[in-house]
Amino acid sequence: MKLILASASPRRREILSNAGYSFWVRPADMEEHFDPALPVDKAVEALAGQKADCVVQNAAADEIVLAADTIVVRDGLVLGKPKSEADAFAMLRSLAGRSHTVYTGVCIALPGENGRRETFSCASNVRFYPLSDDTIRRYIATGEPMDKAGAYGIQGYGCVLVEGIEGDYFNVMGLPIAQTARYLSQYGIMGTVL
């Protein structure tokens, strides 16, 4: 089986590569639809499922599709990717000195009319240091926050904003790789170790 990553995310590519996976990238070309009526974990799984469905419909019989989506939630409010620098500032100000939860939904799908499909999600709690307005502005000036849920990347310059994390670090980056590896191994897709 060939592993297809249904994501353009450089972070997800990096995580898979570092775990020793061979894969091809085929991003989902679609508009996502977040369902606020669902519990957050199920909503993020549904987003990953939408991406997987988009790509698996054109997949070959020997391909397996891996899709993921990540959202940030603070006090029940979903923080997606910022629409502007002002939006990024507001998000980061709301996270400063507080905790929030990062959810990543993952979907693994096989092609065909009766193709199997599995979804799961992972949640990690992240705590930010208190941040000055100047620190937030300097971070935004790097450009890093603009394409990330919650307006930060823990693996980049944003690492200095984070006081602590409870849960899977790679989940916060965008793919809970240890859990994903266990699902992929059920289909004979192996990285270097698992």
Residues involved in catalysis: 69
113 class by beta-carbon count within 10 Å (0-12 exposed, 13-18 middle, 19+ buried):
exposed
CA distance 123 to 152: 17
DSSP type of residue 142: T
Inter-CA distances, 28 with 31, 32, 147, Å: 9, 10, 16
**Cβ neighbours of residue 74 closer than 8 Å, sequence gap 6 or more:** 94, 95, 98, 100, 101, 150
CA distance 19 to 73: 27
CB 21 within 8 A of CB 191: yes
Alpha helix stretches (DSSP H) within the chain: 10-18, 40-56, 85-95, 133-141, 169-173, 177-185
**Cβ neighbours of residue 133 closer than 8 Å, sequence gap 6 or more:** 93
